[in-house]
Amino acid sequence: MSGGWRGTLVATALVSALALFAFAHVTRGFRVVTSDGARQYDLARAPLALPGIELADASGRRFPLREPGSAQRQTLVTFLYTHCLTVCRSSASGQAYLQAELVARGLAGRYRLLAISFDPGRDTPDVLSAYARKQGADPAVWRMATVADAADLPALLKAFGIVVLPDGRGDYVHNAAHFLIDAQGRLARAYDIDRPDAVLADIVHAQR
């Protein structure tokens, strides 16, 4: 084998090894295959501090994202906007399922639900209030809100890894997930948007 071919093979092997190393890093040691999976894996290992952002709920009341409360009460969060006809339906139906299960299992005192709109221009308190009624949200368990200051929206979305892109028709293309904010106000877990049952399973397991 000539020196030129040998050098090419060595270079190819090196590039392949580097690519494999990079892929292993991105996939967290081949444990995940998507960016959402990587986020879930990372949060399970190391909860993240959340920014001190203020929200406004359907009654117009302002409150901090890291709202202080009972040391035993945690928050289950999802993102949506009320005009959405696609993935947001999964977000809302998932939280409706969780509300029913939390109440039925006597866990509503330990967990609360929070749906955050990333469309504050249209999702005013009146709109959020009407949406909450439509979803059957009990305000003692499930709160609808958006950012109190629209300038805080980019930082909020970045903290949760939510990507929102205008679709050119007045609506948005976006990803979604269920999130858990723990009693210390940290972003602690993320779940697939179509797996509220996995959220519930973790909640039930935590009570044992």
Separation between Cα atoms, residue 45 and residue 60, nearest integer Å: 36
Q: How far, in Å, CA of 171 to CA of 166, rounded?
A: 6
Burial of 147 (0-12, 13-18, 19+ CB in 10 A): buried
Q: Where are the beta strands (DSSP E) in 58-208?
A: 62-64, 74-80, 111-117, 142-147, 164-166, 172-174, 177-181, 186-192
Q: According to the annotation, is 84 in a ligand binding site?
A: yes
Judged by DSSP in three states, 31 sits in: coil
Q: Which neighbouring-strand residues pair with 77?
A: 114, 179
Q: Is the pLDDT of residue 35 over 50?
A: yes
- What does the CA dihedral 198, 102, 43, 89 come to, rounded to 10 degrees? 70
Is 88 assigned to a binding site? yes
The residue type found at 62 is R
pLDDT tens per residue, range 132-159: 999 999 999 999 999 999 999 999 999 9
Predicted pLDDT at 132: 97
Residue 69: the pLDDT is: 58
Q: Is 205 flagged in the annotation as binding? A: no
pLDDT class of 30 with cuts at 50, 70, 90: very low
Q: pTM to 2 decimals?
A: 0.81
- Averaged pLDDT for residues 108-134: 97
